[in-house]
Structure 1
Amino acid sequence: MQLSTAVERFLTAVQLEYGYSEHTLRAYQRDLAWFIDFAEETGARELADCDIELMRGWLWQRQQQGLAATTLARNVATLKSFGTWLERSRLVPGNPASRLRAPKAPRDLPRVLADEQMRRLLARVEGRGDAEHPESLRDHAVLELLYAAALRVSELCSLPITGLDAGARTVRVLGKGGKERVVPFGGPAARAIDTYLTVARPALIARAAQAASAASQSAASQSAGPQSARHDALFVGNRGGKLTPNAVYRLVARELEDEPGGGPRGPHTFRHTAATHLLNGGADLRVVQEMLGHSSLASTQVYTHVSTERLAQSYRQAHPRA
């Protein structure tokens, strides 16, 4: 069997059987496409040629290209998953990637906004809310829920209306690996979501339907034009379809431009901020782990480091004997 054929079969299994996210699938596709290119350049086209030395050679080449340790670690994880599948499928006698070791990536502390920054940002977005511009009301609800429930952007965009329990103030989200969890949110987010559902969402859907009707004379316009809201997504975009992660990224980046501090400007900043604020407020680490949907407590513990570093910075700035 050719190596490229084995890779195609593995990716099909990942897509149809493993329940991995689209993001993970795309990462596997990219990594293994680069791996196949390297293998073919070295003359290793058959599956029998896929051994640990070939894999180490590819990783060494990637390292020489100056790629970050985090990227190399992801490459190793991809090869290990591929090798495990090969072994389980009995296409090879053993996992050729079993002895690969990922480089240790330096752990950078995530960007976290101060309490006052978050209050100021959300108040600013709320102040721009206008029924004449329903997207402004939606944007306010999106940001409130991102922060209140510490959601991943993929979880927010795929959240169905049926996943919202307005009375209990909870959302039922589908996280990484298809794991479901119920997350609470507070009063400000509840009010923003209620306004969005009663005012903004119907207006966005109606506007999209009107645009689709106006374009109905052209078959080409119908196929590529505005989307009708034939889905159950809680948050809809300006054209009536599901709100996309890219749209949320642009929204968050725009709002973070006005806030001091460097670092990333994506939606994950709200998740980092929420987790840190919970711990600063006295929440138990295990509770925060469950809320974030982390399978490992180590993933949640990074936020204790953030809190400690913030305390150290305040001490150095304020204490006369620091």
Structure 2
Amino acid sequence: MREAVDDFAGHLAAVRNRSAHTVRAYVGDVVSLLDHARRMGCAELPELDLAVLRSWLAKQRTTGAARTSLARRAASARTFSAWAHRTGLLPADVAGALSSPRAHRDLPTVLRADQAAALVEAPGRFAAVPPSPPAEDDSRPSSPAGDGSGPSSPDGEDSRPSSPDGKGSRPTTPTGDGSGPGSPGSSGPPAADGVAEAVLLRDRALLELLYGTGVRISEACGLDVADVDHARRVVRVFGKGGRERAVPYGVPAQRALDEWLRHGRPALAAPHSRDALLLGARGGRLNPTTARRIVGGYAAGTGLPPISPHGLRHSAATHLLEGGADLRAVQELLGHSSLASTQIYTHVSVERLRAAYRQAHPRA
């Protein structure tokens, strides 16, 4: 069975072109399924049947798995069963008739347009205050948000974990790499000031990109310098499944990117930076986990509701639709393979209309 799991992982990565995250999730589900089957007396893979699959899902349910998790695990089982049948490992596609609970889709959290503007402009407000020098101790980031950049991994990605968000208090610096704004009148060594200013320029570019394009956080962190077409104001994005799309961005994002590339990136660039567009404070490619902490840190520091990079993506899509954009165009911009994924944002707009109606109409 181990060999079958390894071959299935190779199929997902090489043939289906799934992301590393998807491969890990599906393989983990299949390992859990086969372990359950073995405890039920299935010594060999061909002994797997629908009753075992249903028993596995039922056990997941009794242990408190959410409907979305059950739906994904059922999808993993169906994908594995179909592949095993095609390759001759199973005499039949035993999971073909396996049903799964419909995942409940909550309406996404979105910011108002003025709140989104306040968030993306937050690094500029912090830049007005002279920065304090970076922390001496590389192992203890000084901020709730955390830059997360440390000794780079072989692929040039920042990998040092950051401290958790400090809810309820304004962070000393939203970027959290020890290079953000300090108290008024403070000053640090010129080199430290240069890094601090570069980090603020990077944060502004990151926030403008996320809200201005609606790209996923993994897509933003995966951008290379050559992916930015300054003349046409378009970024080339590689999304899920390796699908490529061109996403336009506006003038504020253009200014932020120009400032970052002219004055910020050269201050942080190192030999291991390669062609990465967004860098951590020590020169590696900006880590998506770190970028999430940056967004959360600025939201907390600006007094906004808790928001994630995906929340900015939701906000961008909602504001596009509310501004009159075509649903099909928004689908292309977001990189959704199905229009059904984009239609969730029409529900958000309807909910806002209902709220406005209840508040304003005398007979609501």
Query: Structure 1-normalised TM-score?
Result: 0.88
Residues of 1 paired with 2:286 and 2:24: CA distance?
A: 20
Residue 91 of structure 1 deviates from its aligned partner by: 2.0
Post-superposition Cα deviations, 1:51-105, rounded to whole Å, max 9, x if no partner, equal 2111111100001111110000010111111112112212223211111112012
SS in 2 for 1:172: strand
Q: Where is the helix percentage greater, Structure 1 or Structure 2?
A: 1
Amino acid at match of 2:343: Q
Aligned to 1:186: 250
Deviations 1:220-249 (A, max 9, x none): xxxxxxxx4342111111121111111111
**Equivalent pairs: percent with the same residue?**
46
SS in 2 for 1:256: helix
Which of residues 18, 40, 48 is equivalent to 1:20?
18
Question: Which residue of the other structure, out of 194, 197, 205, is the alignment partner of 1:141?
Answer: 205
Q: Distance in 2 between matches of 1:35 and 1:252?
A: 37
What is the Cα deviation at residue 260 of structure 1? 4.5
The answer as to 2:319 corresponding to 1:273 is: no
| Contact 2:278–2:285 (Cα < 8 Å) also in 1 | yes
Q: Which residue is equivalent to 1:240? A: 283
TM-score of the superposition, structure 2-length normalised?
0.78
- Secondary structure of the residue that 2:324 maps to in structure 1? coil
Equivalent pairs counted in the alignment come to 297
Aligned equivalent of 1:75: 73
Which residue of 82, 85, 88 maps to 2:83? 85
Q: Deviations over 1:8-51 (max 9, x none)?
A: 21012222332111110111122122222212222223111222
The secondary structure found in structure 2 opposite 1:229 is helix
Indicate how the Cα distance of structure 1 residues 259 and 22 shifts in structure 2: closer, same or farther if over 3 A, else same. farther
* 1:307 CA drift (Å): 0.4
Cα shift at 1:259: 4.2
Task: Report the equivalent of 2:58.
Answer: 60
Runs of 5+ unmatched residues, structure 2:
129-192
Shift of the alpha carbon at 1:128?
A: 2.1
**In structure 2, what is the equivalent of residue 218 of structure 1?**
none
Residue 309 of structure 1: CA displacement? 0.1
The CA distance in 1 between the partners of 2:24 and 2:276, in whole Å, is: 23
Q: In the aligned structure 2, how far is the partner of 1:83 from the partner of 1:90?
A: 10
Q: Which amino acid aligns with 2:220?
A: L
For residue 168 of structure 1, the aligned residue among 220, 225, 232 is 232
Q: Would you say the 8 A contact 2:330–2:342 is kept in 1?
A: yes
**2:18 match: secondary structure:** coil
Matched, 1:256 2:320: no
1:197 aligns with 2:261: yes
Q: Is the 8 A contact 2:221 2:285 kept in 1?
A: yes
Deviations 1:164-202 (A, max 9, x none): 101110001011111100000000000000000011111
| Paired letter, 1:270 | L
Q: Structure 2 CA distance, aligned partners of 1:106 and 1:75? A: 15
User: Separation in 2 of the partners of 1:46 and 1:129?
Assistant: 63
1:204 maps to amino acid? L
Distance 1:97 1:259 in 2: 49
